[in-house]
Every structure is written in structure tokens, then in C-alpha cells.
Structure 1
């Protein structure tokens, strides 16, 4: 058996910003770590780049937006997240460009997080080929962390009163090579299940999708095996 993943502690972490592409992206294991963070008194913010409007084949995007927002708000409430912002980049067509980087950098300067969480930008992941939006948002987030700390980039943000901010850590979920993990207790595991189940109508539109209570505990149990505990949420951790 290889070296166990070290456990991430929350010392010095007051605020966390989670940047993902769609409603439900945080709910495939990472929300268990969020539940542990908020239970520890950490302030967690969610930034969704799209509204997930193209995610339900049987519903027109204009009808889907409000539904997916409401389901995401319910998922946030389950794990103690009170701040949710959803941008209007096009679901399925997100590009890693300067517009996206600036939008994320702006939010980093607003929230001033100690840690940013995002999804992996790798092409292949545990469930197959990674979504283009996930890849582009992940890479843009890496660049935006640096952009947010540079006073000579996106100077209009400073003109609007948003001073540069230095984020200290990036935690990447669903990474093929995690190097750390958040220990997850029974309560947080159950809340992670409930947070994904909050996307009720979205999940009902995916007839082959396994029930949250069937596979979320298995994801976290796999992380726990790697971290030497019953349940854990694994991440690739980077420092800045």
C-alpha cells in the first residue's frame, strides 16, 4: 500500500471560494469537505460560471435556469453555504479566455479567500472524458488566482475599489493524482448525499444516473482508504 494522503487542516482558513462550471459540480464528493469546513466555522462561497441551462435535454434553457438555481440553493443550504453567485456564461460553450479570467479574478478580490476550490482540468477523469466547461473553468481559475494578486492586470477592478488579493491555496477536486484529503465524518457524508439529492429534477432527467445514496458514500470511502480514515474527500493541493 502506498503512502497515505495527508489530512488537510483548516488552520488559518477563514474563507473559501468554490469556482465550478455548473449547478451540481460541487456535489460529487467535494460538498462533503464543504460541510466539514462550514461546521468548523469557515465561510464558504460558491461561484458558478453557468446556470446549467443546457443540462436537461427535455427542457428549454429558459425554463431550466430558475429550476437549477433553486436546486443549487437547496444544495448549498444543506452544507452551510449562504453565498451563491451564478454568472451567465453559456452552458456547454465556456471558453478559457480573458473575459472568464477577469470574472473569476473579480470574485476572488470580492471574497478574499484563503483557499480556492475548483474542478480538475484534466482531459480524462474517473468517470471518463472530462467536460469542456470543467476543463476551461479549472484552467481559468488557476490563472485568475494569479491575476487577482497582480495590481497591473485588470486595473479596472482596482478602480472599482477591489484591491489585489493573494490566495494561499488551491484545492482541485476530482483530480487523478490527489496529494491531500479532508477527513469526512458521518454527518458530513450524509449531508454530501443530501446536497446531490437536492438536484432532484436534474437527476430525474438522467435515467442511468446512480442514486446519490448509492455512490457518494463509495466515493468518500475510496478517499478514506487513501487517507487512512473511513471517509475523506481527496484533492490536489497547490500553494501560491
Structure 2
């Protein structure tokens, strides 16, 4: 069941210092979260990115072995625009990520390495709301991230991680899901919007393969549309929305 569209969105929690964003592909965060991340890094908070794949299957006209390093470079440049310097890739295969033990273990290991209080991921449900179907990669990574937030704190799940020097981390207080059709919280996008547009534009190769529209016009229109759609529920301010699961 989705939330009533007129229910006010709450401000995101602010009493945290470290966040870890875990998504499937390069550009997943830039299509919705970058304005919030810019605001957080401006405030002195630490944010790191973990991507399950290098997005190697995302451009039809570019072979995966050529696409992967290009999209990695674009992702690192994109992250830097919003103040993120730590970007890791788990090297699962783009397009065929499987939800399961291996994925949960890799994400739990990342959470133990970075020790965040806030974990961010992308919509883990079958649709974006209505009949807009989600991709299997997003569903698998989003669901595994929600589960790995608990796995990371349990020493008896994946004990091999302890043997690798990764002690349990039970400090995750929230998992925030971007792109949810049932958001509960939001971050004002006003201050971070210009950097969000610039961050998305770093994925120029992907955007140029996706649309014939001018990349800057496309990026600004997409992000303006998505953030302004939340304004009615967030005091009239354009916003990045999240469905927040407390732990």
C-alpha cells in the first residue's frame, strides 16, 4: 500500500556522521540522490559509494569490456562533484545480479568496512509505482542491502568476514530507500540542485546513448521534475525523497 499523496514528508534524520550508498549501477544515485548527498557533504558528513556492477551492459552500442572502465571513470567523476571520494565496485555482472548469500555477504562486508549510521539504497520493489516495472538488478541490490544492514551486525552470519578482519558493525540506524513510491522523509534539494545536475552530466556517454535531447537540458529537466513533484508534501520545497526503515 502506498502512502497518501498528501501526507507530509518528514525531514531526514540529521544525527549521523557517516553514510554508505549501495546501488546496482553507475548513474543510479545521480538519477535522484545527488542533491541530498551534496547537502550532506556540505554539512561535513562522510558519504561513500558501493556499486554492485560497473554498468558494463548498459549501453547497447558499446561492448562490455570497453563500457565498464568508461562508466567507472564517469561514476568516480560524478561522485567527486558532490563531495564523495570513496567509490567501490563489487564486480557482480550487470543485468544478471542475483539476490542471495553472495550479494548479502559482499554488502555486509562493505558496511563493516565503512561503519555507517545511515545506509542508502534504491527501490527494491517490483515497480516504481503503478505499472512502471523495476529492473531485477535494482530489486536484488535494494533487498540485499536491507538484509545486509542486519547481517553486518551479527558475528555468526558470515563468520569468514571476521577472519578477514571485518568486525561486526551494528551501528546502522536507518536504511533509506530512494525512488520509493511510498516515501516517508525528504531532503531539501535547493542548495544541491546545480551540483546534482553536474553530477548526472558526468554520465554523458550513457545519457547520449539514452536520448537525442541535449544532455544538460535532459539532466536538468529530469531532476527538476522529480524534486518538484515532492514539494507539495515538503513545505513547498523541491526535495529528494526516501522511504526510511529504522533499525
Q: Quick check: TM above 0.5? A: yes
Name which of 158, 172, 182 aligns with 1:177: 182
Q: Residue 219 of structure 1 corresponds to which residue in structure 2?
A: 226
1:95-135, Cα deviation, whole Å (9 max, x unpaired)? 00100000000000000000000011111115821010000
Please report the TM-score for the alignment, with normalisation by the length of structure 1. 0.95
Task: Pick one of 41, 44, 57 that aligns with 1:41.
Answer: 44
Question: What stretches of structure 1 move > 4 A for 4+ residues in a row?
Answer: none
Q: Which residue of 2 aligns with 1:8?
A: 12
TM superposition score normalised by structure 2: 0.93
**Paired position in structure 1 for 2:32:** 29
- Structure 2 unaligned blocks of 5 or more: none
Which one of 64, 88, 91 corresponds to residue 91 of structure 2?
88
Distance 2:178 2:86 in 1: 20
Taking only aligned residues, the RMSD between alpha carbons, in angstroms, comes to: 1.4
What is the CA distance between 1:208 and its match in structure 2? 5.7
**Number of residue-to-residue matches in the alignment:** 238
Change in 2 beyond 3 A, CA 1:123/1:208 = farther
Give structure 1 stretches of 5+ with no counterpart: none
* Structure 1 SS opposite 2:10: coil
Contact 1:10 1:37 in 2 (8 A): no
> C-alpha separation between the residues in 2 aligned to 1:143 and 1:212?
32
Residue in 1 aligned with 2:78?
75
CA contact (8 A) 2:6 2:232 kept: no
